[in-house]
Structures are given as C-alpha cells and as structure tokens.
Structure 1
C-alpha cells in the first residue's frame, strides 16, 4: 500500500458527526488499510451477513464492460485503493437495499440505451444521489425554509428545531470530500419518508421509495452540510451564514434585491 494512501486513511476523523453511522464498521476497516491491506480486502473483511455484493480489485472489471452492469451481473464491486471507493464500500455495507436498487436502475438503463456521452435524466439523478446525496428527517418548518433557501431562518431563527431533525449522509463522494471539511461542501438532500430510527430501517424505506419517474426530476434540495447545527463549531457564530458564496439566495430573490 502506497504511503500516501495510508496517510489519507489515517487522517479520517471518526469523531465527526457525519461519520457516526459508519464508524462501527468503517474505523476498523480504515485501520486495516493504514496497516497495509488493500481497500477491497479491508471492506471484504467487514462484510456483514446477507450483503448482496462482495468487493473485488478494480482489475477484475473487464475492459469494455460498464461498471454498473458488471456489479449487477457479477455481484462484485470493483474497488480502487482510494477514499472514494472506500466510502462507496461503506455505503454498500450500510445501505445494501438502496445501493442494489440504484444499481438495478442504472444497469437497466445501460442495457436499454447503452453507455452514452451524456447520461439520461434518470441515470443522472441516480448518480447525483449516489455520489452526493443525504437524507433528512426534519420538522416541516425546517423543510419550508430549506426549500426557500432562507438560510437565516433555517439555521438561526429555527435553530432550536434542529434538535428534532436528523441527517444521514449517503453519497460516497460527499463523504470523501468531508475528510477535509470545507465550508462550500453541499449535499443533495432527499426528504426521508419516516423518522430516522435506524440505518437498516432507513435503507429499507428508501429503497422502496425510489420511483424512476419521480427521481428523474431530481427531487433533491441543496444544503451546505457544515451549516447543520452541531456539525461544525464555526457555525455557532451567526456571521458563518452571511457568506453569499455558500449560502446563496434563490435567483428570483437575488434579482429583486438588485433592483
């Protein structure tokens, strides 16, 4: 294992609030990588009973075969030695039903249309969520403010309501980016249909809720994740949310403000 890879895995802060759902399996697996294991072996050793896939080296993916199709037919996830694929594997471990549902829809679309230069609306939406998605259960007032991008109301005026909310990250690229937290990191948030009581229940509910027609319209809402109360010490200061490059008003509101 290259020294740079081990260093990257050693820099993961498993105390970060967004990593708590993944810590039980993730921290020992990351340590195995630091100790010299390949990522696919480290993930394979963490496999839980009933997982729909195994993890394999990237070299197992045949040349000319689409990644999603290979996973669907072989039930093996080609895995490189990097943080991106490591977090993908951890999400498979925690959301096996949802990941398999996303994989099935991707594979079906590829079988019907082939791999094109530009993904169709459904494949694009599935990829956005797979890479950068999050799930949020919150009081309706918070959702209304979030959808309006009323950041001051969302994070300051309604701040006490965040005690009733719970957000769980799904996107593996999002998790990778948060290894080095930066204020502009944004998640594409999907509304959880039930209160988040456990990851297993959340996985089952989400997998059954993915409707291709509705998801092709990208029913996601952008949310700067480090603005979530309790997730980043700097957001205790109100001026944290005064950065227009991160907490942007909707285009219509910007136009009115400029008149």
Structure 2
C-alpha cells in the first residue's frame, strides 16, 4: 500500500477517500475497519472470515449488505469503489445474486455474470466528444491519440474496476480498461454513479457493451506516451478485427 501514487490521474475518482482510508490502515486498522470508519453508506465491510463456508460471495453481500474484505490491495480498492459508487456496485451485485439464484454457482459463468465481472474488475467510463468515441470504436489509434490529441482536454476517463486500479499501482503499457460510453454532461462522481446504476440492464449487459482502451495511452496519463512510436506497438494497440466472412 505504500507504493500507491495518489497523484496518478487514474486514481482521481477515489483519491480523496483513498488517502483517508489508507491513513487508517497505516494506524493499524484492518482494511474492513478502515473502510467502515469513512463509510457513509448503509452496508458494512467485514473480515473475509465472516463469509460462511459454501456461501457465494456475491449472494452473501446481497443478502446481508456486508462486504467480506481481505487485508490486501485488491480489496482495499474494491472497498473504495463501493464507497464512491454505491448504487452501481449494489446494482451489479443484484445481477450477480439473481444469476446465482437462477443457475447456481457453476464452473463457467454465464454471459451476464461474465459481463458484470469484467466491468466490476476492469471497467471504466469515458466521457468524450463523439470524434474520440468514433476513433476508439474503430481502433484508429493514430487518430484517437495523435491526430485528435488536443480533444482529450474535453474528455474524462473514470476508472471503476478495482482490479485495474490495483494493477496500476505498478503501471505497465498493456493494461486495458473495458470502457462504457457515458455522457459528457455529468460532473460529480455521485451523478456518474446514479446514471451508471440506471444503465446496468441484464439483457443489454449480457453482450458486454464495452470497448477496450489501453489506459496508459491516454494523453497526460503516462509520460512515455509522448515518445514517437509509442502507439505503434500492435501488441497493445491492436487493430479492429475484420468481420468474419459469411
């Protein structure tokens, strides 16, 4: 936890709260207790040991409004996202619990649970002009990051996935967010949370309505992306796949 750089742009949505929770941890509190100290929501964080053996994690959260939490970075960031995006996290949890109630816990997740997990772990919201979105969807990286670079001043990328936040503590070029299209008009995180919770629809999300975005390519997010040729790496900035021939 000492390695977290709170000045990093990808931590913008959780920075203020994260610094305060981190301080509680450094004073000796377990992560669950530290999160509860700063919590203003109606659910609680509990030690992982409170999760009964044989009970699905998502089902337990839905039934009890308690979030089992380990003392590690992964659950630290998960807790911060729960506190900053409570409505969306509760909605995602509802879909997970409903799918478990209907189908049980299986070796392979169904399409809905898979989509929810992808966004929960690695999701982000991009508020950006249409030109940037058009370039992103077509994987036109040259246009997206070089030709339209000044337009990024009008965009905002808000990271949601706690696994992605954890991985970015040690940033590497290939790290990718699964991005959902959000309107530019929203300013506060509370507004974003309310809007996103209303967008989480079981039928629509089963198709994974997300677009991959290598986050360290975002202008201003990593000094290395100013270097010539940074975006020429096809292993990271992959072209759009051709549609299969009928």
Deviation, structure 1 residue 139: 0.7
**Alignment partner, residue 159 of structure 1:** 149
| 1:93 is the counterpart of 2:83 | yes
Aligned to 1:146, the other structure's residue is in SS state: helix
| 1:143 is the counterpart of 2:143 | no
**Alignment partner, residue 217 of structure 2:** 227
Specify which structure has the bigger relative contact order, considering alpha-carbon pairs within 8 angstroms and separated by 6 or more residues.
Answer: 2
**Alignment partner, residue 15 of structure 1:** 7
Aligned to 2:177, the other structure's residue is in SS state: strand
Aligned counterparts of 1:83 and 1:73: Cα–Cα separation in 2 = 25
Runs of 4+ in 1 over 2 A off after TM superposition: 193-196
* Deviating more after overlay: 19-28 vs 72-81: 19-28
Contact 1:156 1:238 in 2 (8 A): no
**Alignment partner, residue 160 of structure 2:** 170
Deviation, structure 1 residue 72: 0.5
RMSD, aligned α-carbons: 1.1
Give the alignment's TM-score, normalised by structure 1: 0.91
> Matches of residues 37-186 of structure 1 in structure 2 within 5 Å?
37-48=29-40, 51-186=41-176
Aligned to 2:144, the other structure's residue is in SS state: helix
Contact 2:214 2:237 in 1 (8 A): yes
Deviation, structure 1 residue 35: 3.0
Deviation, structure 1 residue 194: 4.6
**Alignment partner, residue 181 of structure 2:** 191
**Alignment partner, residue 19 of structure 2:** 27
Aligned counterparts of 2:34 and 2:229: Cα–Cα separation in 1 = 42
Contact 1:136 1:191 in 2 (8 A): yes
Deviation, structure 1 residue 120: 0.6
Please state which structure has a larger fraction of its residues in helix.
Answer: 1
Point out where structure 2 has 5 or more consecutive residues left out of the alignment.
none
Give the alignment's TM-score, normalised by structure 2: 0.96
Aligned counterparts of 2:158 and 2:181: Cα–Cα separation in 1 = 11
Aligned to 1:175, the other structure's residue is in SS state: helix
Aligned counterparts of 2:52 and 2:190: Cα–Cα separation in 1 = 32
**Alignment partner, residue 237 of structure 2:** 247
Contact 2:48 2:68 in 1 (8 A): yes
Aligned counterparts of 1:194 and 1:139: Cα–Cα separation in 2 = 8
Aligned counterparts of 1:252 and 1:238: Cα–Cα separation in 2 = 27
Count of residue correspondences? 243
Deviation, structure 1 residue 21: 1.9
Point out where structure 1 has 5 or more consecutive residues left out of the alignment.
1-8, 254-259
Contact 1:193 1:205 in 2 (8 A): no
CA distances 1:13-39 after superposition (whole Å, capped 9, x unpaired): 000011122111101211222332211
Deviation, structure 1 residue 211: 1.2
